[in-house]
Amino acid sequence: MSAAPNLTDILTSIDELAARGQVSREKAFSAWYAINFYSIDEDDALDAAAADGGNDQGIDLVFVDEASESLMVIQAHCPGNTTKPTPKAK
């Protein structure tokens, strides 16, 4: 039985995805979430996350979850410094 991943393992996985997709850690985090929790194809998730921009009203990723027939809207924040609390605004 393998142990559950810890924060370091998760951040490493996100950073590897960011490097493959040539996106920031922040954008890679929303894609990583969709890939790992909704089984979204990696390329599709990275494409959707890359569309994030200044006038997106805080939306980082949108996709259709076919299993539940739902539109999923994700807002994600992956801090660079994980040792201090994230501000409420994030």
Supply the pLDDT for residue 2: 65
- The number of beta carbons lying within 10 Å of the beta carbon of residue 32 is 26
**pLDDT 10s digits, 18-30:** 999 999 898 899 9
> What is the pTM (predicted TM-score) of this model?
0.80
Q: What is the pLDDT of residues 10-65, one digit of tens each?
A: 999 999 999 999 998 988 999 999 999 999 999 999 988 876 566 667 788 888 88
pLDDT tier at 9 (50, 70, 90 boundaries)? very high
| Residue 22 CB neighbour total at 10 angstroms | 10
Contact 17, 46 (CB under 8 A): yes
